[in-house]
């Protein structure tokens, strides 16, 4: 049996009036590159913020490395590294100063900070930017720095919300190399994305969420079977089929009654 490193059970979350998660279940195993997929507004960012402890769920349970994060909200954080959807870094520090700071607040020994900082600066080809103010760096460079900072304590689980937005192909390739290197060491990668071709190439396993529910999870083969789109279907076809099917039951009864009433009035044909 594979080790579960992240487990969500019946997680609910509403922002005043908006029900973002509706009983979400999710399992992520050790050593995989896991993709959380879903259209805009599906609840990906909400899910990630709950896992990393930035947002409180209304109901349900989340376990990370077997810590119940509600009961023990601090201990598990040393196991995770997090790169948010919109990276915001201190403009007034240099790249190097920011990485040193990130290592120090995580309690990483100086020697290791230096070693890992150099490793990622080289890998991301940022050597000539070491002493540049973050202020002066491009969006893609900032994203790379955020990833390096999230890895400075060598976490078991790296969680990234839409990591490939604004990154050039060479940068994307580099990030994928890092992912592959880490899973070889038994570390886990958790990404959210709506870019299906990326997920298809990169992820061992995915979950498709829609309206705050897990509508399907597994490897591409499982999903093809689940969605009955045929053996040669791409993830995109599976995704469209599954999110389309999931749409109907979500409409609440009253909304559905209003909809029918409305369509009865104006008709739906043109």
Residues engaged in binding Mg ion (CB under 5 A)? 44-45
Closest distance between Mg ion and the C-beta of residue 156, in Å? Answer: 23
**For ligand ADP, which is the closer residue by CB, 18 or 251?**
18
Among 18, 105, 170, 255, binds ligand ADP (CB under 6 A): 18
Site size toward ligand ADP (CB under 6 A) is 11
Nearest CA to 142 out of 104, 180, 95, 178 is that of 95
**For ligand ADP, which is the closer residue by CB, 54 or 263?**
54
163 near ligand ADP, rule: CB under 6 A = no
Q: Are strands 157-161 and 188-193 parallel, antiparallel or unpaired?
A: parallel
Spatial strand order in the sheet of 157-161: 80-83, 157-161, 188-193, 33-37, 205-210, 213-218
For residue 151 the two structure tokens come to 């890895």
In the stretch 34-73, what mask flags binding to ligand ADP with x, by CB under 6 A? ----x-xxxxxxx---------------------------
Report the b/e string of 81-91 with b at 16+ CB within 10 A: bbbbeebebee
Distance CA(148)–CA(192), nearest Å, equals 18
**For Mg ion, which is the closer residue by CB, 54 or 263?**
54
**For ligand ADP, which is the closer residue by CB, 155 or 212?**
212
């Amino acid at each position: 049996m594979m080790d579960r490193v992240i487990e969500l059970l019946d997680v609910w979350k509403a922002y005043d009036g908006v029900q973002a998660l509706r009983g979400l279940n999710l399992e992520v195993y050790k050593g995989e590159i896991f993709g959380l997929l879903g259209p805009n507004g599906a609840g990906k960012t909400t899910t990630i913020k709950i896992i990393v402890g930035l947002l409180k769920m209304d109901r349900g349970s989340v376990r990370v490395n077997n810590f119940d994060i509600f009961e023990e909200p601090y201990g598990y954080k040393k196991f995770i590294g997090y790169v948010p959807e919109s990276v915001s870094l201190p403009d007034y520090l240099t790249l190097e100063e920011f990485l040193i700071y990130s290592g120090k607040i995580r309690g990483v020994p100086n020697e290791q900070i230096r070693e890992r900082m150099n490793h990622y600066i080289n890998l991301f080809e940022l050597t000539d930017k070491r002493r540049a103010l973050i202020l002066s760096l491009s969006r893609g460079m900032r994203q790379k720095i955020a990833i390096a900072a999230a890895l400075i304590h060598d976490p078991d689980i790296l969680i990234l919300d839409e990591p490939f937005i604004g990154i050039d192909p060479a940068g994307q390739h580099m990030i994928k190399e890092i992912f592959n290197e880490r899973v070889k060491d038994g570390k886990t990668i958790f990404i959210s994305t709506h870019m299906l071709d990326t997920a298809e190439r990169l992820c061992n396993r995915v979950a498709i969420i829609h309206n705050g529910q897990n509508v399907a999870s597994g490897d591409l083969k499982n999903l093809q079977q689940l969605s009955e789109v045929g053996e040669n279907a791409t993830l995109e076809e599976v995704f469209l089929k599954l999110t389309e099917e999931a749409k109907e039951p979500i409409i609440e009864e009253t909304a559905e009654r209003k909809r029918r009433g409305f369509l009865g009035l104006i008709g739906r044909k043109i």
